Structure 1
Amino acid sequence: MTLTTAVPTSATDPFGDDVLADPLPFHHELREAGQVVHLERYDVYAMGRYAEVHAALVDWQRFQSGAGVGLSNFRREKPWRPPSLLLETDPPGHDAPRHVLEPILAPRSLRRLRESWQQTADDLVDSLLDRGTIDAVADLAEAYPLRVFPDAVGLGPDGREHLLPYGDHAFNAFGPPNHLVEKGQAGLPEVSGWVGEQCARDRLTPDGFGARIWEAADRGDITHDQAPLIVRSLLTAGVDTTVHALAAVIDGFLSAPDQWELLRRDPGRARVAFDEAIRWASPVQTFFRTATVDVPLGDAVIPAGEKILMFLGSANRDPRRWTDPDRFDLSRDPSGHVGFGMGLHQCVGQHVARLEAECVLRALASRVRAIEPAGESRRHLNNTLRAWASLPVRLVPA
C-alpha cells in the first residue's frame, strides 16, 4: 500500500494492555497528530477527533460496516460467526432487520416494562444497602441487567451466566487475535452454543422481544432465517455494554461526589447522568469501518478498501467539541456523544439501556446519601470495551 506523505504515523499498539487499561494519553496523542493517523502495527487508519469520527459514522456510503466493524476484513477473511445483521450490514440488507427492531425497542414499547423494572431496581438497592459495602460491578452493574434484560428478550432462567463471557469474547474479537481473544476461545463452544439455542422460537417466551422478532418473520418483514440472527444480536450486544455503562456512571460519581448530590436533589437528571457517563467513559471505545472509495481527508487520502479505526472514546473527550471534557458533569448536554454510534448504525437498543440505567439511578438516589470508594478498583481489559472488573464501594443510606 502506498501512503500519502501527509498522513502521520503511530507505532503505538492501541490494543496493548497498557493502552486498554488507560487509553487517555494515547487518545490525546492521536487527536494532536492529525485528522487521520496510520497505525503501523496493523496497517490501518485511525481517527480520534470528534468531527472526523462523527462524519465517518454517518457516512455509511463511503465508510461501510458490511466488511466488518472489527479489524478482520470480511471481504478477505471469513468471520468466526455469522455477521451481525445490524452492526455488520449496510443498506439494503440492513434495512429490514433495523425496521423490525426499532418499534420493538422504542421508548413507547418499553413503557410496559418501567414499573416492574423500577421495582426490581428498588428491591436490589434495598438488599445492597443491608450489606453496606459492595462490588458495584458484580453486585449492581452485572446483577441488574442480567435480571431484567434476558426476561425482556424472553429467555428462561437457566444459563444466563453464559451471556457475559459470550459478549466479552464477541467484543474482544473485533480487535486483533491477541491474548484477550485466546482467553475466550476455550469456553466459546459452550457459551456460543447456548446463546444460539436461546434464539430458537421454541426457547423464547411468547411475550418478549424475541417472540416479536419471530412474529415479524411470520408477517414477511424479515425471513425466518434472519429471525434467530437478530435475536442473537440482542444477546450479543445488549448486556455487556449496559453492564459497563452502569459501572461507568458509578465511577463517574466517585470522581465527582458533587454530581451525586446534584442527582439526589434532582433525580430527573438520571438519564443525563447515564449519557454523560457514556460520553465520559465510552464503554464502547472503538469500531472499524472500511473505505469503499478513496476518501480525501484534509491533506491525506484514505485508499479504497482500507480499514479505519474510529476511536469513539477519544472523540467523546475531544476538547474541540467538549468544554472541560475530562470532567463528569451533569450540567452539560451530552446528547451529541458518539458512545452509541451515530447515523444509520446507531445503537438500536440504546433506549433499553437508558431505561435500565434510569431505574437503577432513581433507586439509588432515593435511598443512598453517598457512594464512597471502599477498596482498590480493578480494570477488565477488552479489545473494544472500557470496563471495570471490580469497583468496591460503600453505600451510605439516606
Structure 2
Amino acid sequence: MEEEKPKTRKIIHIDMDAFYASIEQRDHPEYRGRPLAVGRSEERGVVAAASYEARRFGVRSAMPSVRAKKLCPHLIFVPSRISFYKSVSAQIHAIFHEYTDVIEPISLDEAFLDVTENKPQIELAVQIAREIKQKIRERLGLVASAGISYNKFLAKIASDYRKPDGLCTIHPSQADRFISELPIESFWGVGKVTAQKFHSLGIHTGKELKEYSLEYLIHHFGKVGILYYKFARGIDPRPVEAERIRKSVGCETTFERDLTDLGDIMDEINELTEELLRRISRHSFQGNTLTLKIKFIDFVQKTRSITVDHKLFRSDEILSLTRKMLEEPELTGQPIRLLGLTLSHPPEYLTDTPDGQLWIPFKEL
C-alpha cells in the first residue's frame, strides 16, 4: 500500500500596513495624506510608528524624534493610544476567527493563520486572504497586506513583497526561484549585523546562500546556521502555534538624564531587578537566561545574555550575573539612556553571534 504523503500546509501571514499611524489617520481626517508619527516629539522621544507619507522622508519606527523632525520638518506627532490599538487588534482577530482558530499572533498588527482546514471550507488560501483583507477594509477602514505559502518563512516574506495593500502567493513550484533572488537582508532574522557578516563571506542572495554547506554555516553562525541552511531550501517545519507559551518576562527604563556613574547605574539595576522579580512572580514564570539591554546616548543598543543550568529567582544571583555582563569594556564608558532586564527560556537553537550577543531566531537583539 502506497504511503499517503503529508498534506501541504496553507499558511497566511497578515501584516497591517502602518497600523498605529493608519488608525490615527482613519480617526482624524485632517491627518490623511500627511506625514504622521505616533510617539513623543520632545528631545528624548522616539517614533513608535510612521505613516507611509512620513516614510517617504526616511522616517522609521524606533527613530529618535529629533532626527525624524530633521528629515521631515512638517511631521505631525500624535500620542500613542496603545489600549485602543489593542482593541482594534482584537476586532481584526475576530475576523480571523471567522476562518480558522489556528492563529499565532506575533504582535498587535501581525499574525500567522493556518487555513489548511478552514471553517468556510474554502479551497484556495489566496481567496481566504483576499476576503480577510476586504473585511478589514470594509469593517475597520484599515489596510492589510497578506502573504500565502506552504510555510511561515515564505508566507512572511510574501506579505512584505508588495506592501502596502499587498497580496502575494508563493507556490511550492515557485519557491526555489523566489528564494534564489531574495536579498540576504530580506531573510527572516537577518539584521544589520548579520547582513554585514554574510556580505563579508560573499553571500548577498538566497542563491549564494544555498551554495554553502550546513557545516560552513554552523561554523560561522552557530546553531542558527541550521535555520539559514533550511530557509535557503524553502524548508520551515515550524507549525502555526495557536496557543503561544510565554517565553520571557522583562522590564526596562529610559532615564530623564543619561547615566555615567557606575553607582547610579547599579542603583537602577537594583530597581530593575526588583521589578523583574515582581513580574516573574505575577506571571508565575520560570527561566534561566538573563539578558541585559543597554541603549547609549547615541541610540546604539547592546545586549548581553547569560544562561545558567537552573531557574533564576533570587535577586542576589540576578544582580551578580548583571554585574558580570557589565564588566565588558563595550558596555562601559558611554552615557546610558536606557537599561533593561529580561528573563527567558533559552531556545534549543540558541547560539552566540560573533559579536557576543545572544541570538534568537527572527529577532536580532
TM-score normalized by structure 1? 0.22
Q: Larger strand proportion, structure 1 or 2?
A: 2
Between Structure 1 and Structure 2, whose CA radius of gyration is higher?
Answer: 2
Higher relative contact order (CA 8 A, sep 6+): 1
Q: Larger helix proportion, structure 1 or 2?
A: 1
TM-score normalized by structure 2? 0.23
